[in-house]
Every structure is written in C-alpha cells, then in structure tokens.
Amino acid sequence: MHQNINPSIGCTVHECKYHAQTAEKCSLNEIKVVKHEENATTKECTDCGSFEKQN
C-alpha cells in the first residue's frame, strides 16, 4: 500500500500499482498522459501512460 497521496491527481483505477488505495487519488508526484490516436479529439483518445498493473 502506498503512503503517498497526491491530492492533485484523482484516480479510480484500483488495479494500478500507483493508486493510493486509501483515497481515490494517485500516489505519484506526476503522471504522463498519452494519446493513442494521431490527432486526439476526445478523452477516449487519451490514457494514463503511467499505469502499471498491481502484482
């Protein structure tokens, strides 16, 4: 379980190893947002590039 909670990054992805677990927040200092379309026009074209699956 991560002790760090970044109040500036909300997250509901409990499967991520960086999820704060005790709050709907991320434990990283910053995240990388990536796109998987050449021209991102909707939020569905973007993802959290910092996601790593929990063990």
Q: What pLDDT sits at residue 40?
A: 96
Tokens of 20: 């704060």
First and final C-alpha spacing in the chain: 12
Give CA angle at 44 (15, 18), nearest 5°: 25
Each residue's pLDDT tens digit, 21-36:
999 999 999 999 999 9
Q: What pLDDT sits at residue 5?
A: 96
Q: What pLDDT sits at residue 2?
A: 54
Instruction: With residue 9 as reference, give the H or E element that holds it.
Output: strand 6-10
The segments of the chain whose pLDDT lies below 50 read: 1
- How many angstroms separate the CA atoms of 30 and 33, rounded? 10
What's the pTM value of the predicted model, to 2 decimals?
0.84
